[in-house]
Amino acid sequence: MSETKQLEERPCGEAEDGELVPRILRGEESAFEALVVRHQGRVFATVRRYARREDEVQDIVQEIFLKVHQKLSTFRGEAPFHHWLMRLAVRTCYDFLRAHQRNKESLFADLNPGETDWLDRFVAAPEEAGDDEDAARSLVERILEQLSPSSRLVITLLEIEERSVKEIAELTGWSQTAVKVRAFRARREMRKRLGRLVLKKYL
Amino acid sequence: MNIDLLRQKLTHAARLRTEDDSVPYAFEQRIMGSVRAGNLFRSHARVEWGAGLWRAAISCAAFAAILGAFSLWFPGESAVVEDFGVALENAILPTADEALEVL
């Protein structure tokens, strides 16, 4: 029996991603299920950066895996499977952000007491306001929700996930120049939003 | 107020947050159900055939467009002849005459 045949016969849970792909293309459902089980945690974590409501998160993850199945024949195996999967995930999240742009102005009106308190402390003594507090995290979440889809995506990938411009270009399909331009605009947009928040609250 | 410092602090706060990678119970079953409902396993071969046919159709259409454009821009002698019947007669009858002369 050839080595290839032996590899094909490995249980799905033990097979490498690259071995599962041709099996899925031949119609083996259990191979696709194994791929989903292996990668769904990573996809959930990525999607939760862009969508808050759990029902939205689940719908996006489902859409991503359906796209994975539909486009699997385009996976050429030159890079690890999870790189290809993350490209698909990030682009689907970007589509979601573009389709669900929220009412941006209304969100500033209802800062919760924790966020207000954190901002007050920052205004009084900027260095002493901790950045590991829940209030700071929910405040940044609020700011991110007000950014345009491309700004939110680039801030998340570049500044929060600390990815390189090259990586972002590969994930999004944008050129490296476009990533740099969008990053510049995104930082400017974020500063503008923060400035408006401070202006509304303290002046 | 130092807006840049505020931005840096908030970005750092977001960086410290580890995103939740928990998966709802039996979520893979939901995905498998939707894949089966869409009949995607059986459609792979059809999709590949369809893609091949589309590629062939696009190539044929492009070739036909090039030939069409070529015949429009370089009409040649045939475009001068207005009556197709006369042109056909002129092409066939001389050959028939030659054949009769040989006999």
pLDDT in tens, A139-170: 888 889 889 999 999 999 999 999 999 999 99
Domain assignment of residue B11, yes or no: no
- How far off is chain A from B50, nearest CA to CA, in Å? 13
**Which band of pLDDT confidence, cut at 50, 70 and 90, is reported for residue A76?**
confident
Q: What's the CA gap between A102 and A178, in Å, rounded?
A: 24
Average pLDDT of chain A is 86
pLDDT at A2 over 60: no
A19-62 pLDDT tens trace: 888 888 888 888 899 999 999 999 999 999 999 899 999 999 99
Which member of A27, A41, A195 has the closest CB to residue B3? A195
Q: Give percent above pLDDT 90 in chain A.
A: 51
The correct CATH number of A103-203 out of 3.30.590.10, 1.10.3720.10, 3.30.1360.70, 1.10.10.10 is: 1.10.10.10
Query: Tell me, which fold does domain A1-100 have in CATH?
Result: Rna Polymerase Sigma Factor; Chain: A (1.10.1740)
Domain assignment of residue B18, yes or no: no
Tell me the average pLDDT across A197-203: 73
Residue ranges of domains in chain A: 1-100, 103-203
**Residues in A 5-24 with any Cβ partner in B closer than 8 A:** none
H or E segment and range at residue B53: helix B40-73
B14-27 pLDDT tens trace: 888 888 899 999 89
Tell me the average pLDDT across A76-99: 92
Of A153, A136, A201, residue with least CA distance to B5 = A136
**Which band of pLDDT confidence, cut at 50, 70 and 90, is reported for residue A16?**
confident
Q: What's the CA gap between A77 and B79, in Å, rounded?
A: 54
Number of compact structural domains in chain B: 1
Domain assignment of residue B24, yes or no: no
**Which band of pLDDT confidence, cut at 50, 70 and 90, is reported for residue A1?**
very low
Positions in chain B short of pLDDT 50: none
**Which band of pLDDT confidence, cut at 50, 70 and 90, is reported for residue A4?**
low
Which chain A residues are Cβ-neighbours of B15 within 8 angstroms? 159-160, 162
Range of the domain at B53: 31-102
**Which residue of chain A has the CA closest to B17?**
A137
Residue A25 at interface with chain B, using a CB cutoff of 8 Å: yes
**Which residue of chain A has the CA closest to B13?**
A131
Domain assignment of residue B61, yes or no: yes
A130-139 pLDDT tens trace: 776 788 888 8
Using the beta-carbon criterion (under 8 Å), do B44 and A198 form an inter-chain contact?
no
**Which band of pLDDT confidence, cut at 50, 70 and 90, is reported for residue A181?**
very high
Count of C-beta atoms within a 10 Å radius of residue A201: 13
Using the beta-carbon criterion (under 8 Å), do A32 and B35 form an inter-chain contact?
yes
For chain B, give percent helix, strand, coil, nearest 5. Answer: 80, 0, 20
Q: Distance from CA of residue A141 to its chain's centroid?
A: 13
**Residues in A 94-133 with any Cβ partner in B closer than 8 A:** 122-123, 126, 129, 131-133
Domain assignment of residue B5, yes or no: no
Can you give the pLDDT at residue B18?
82
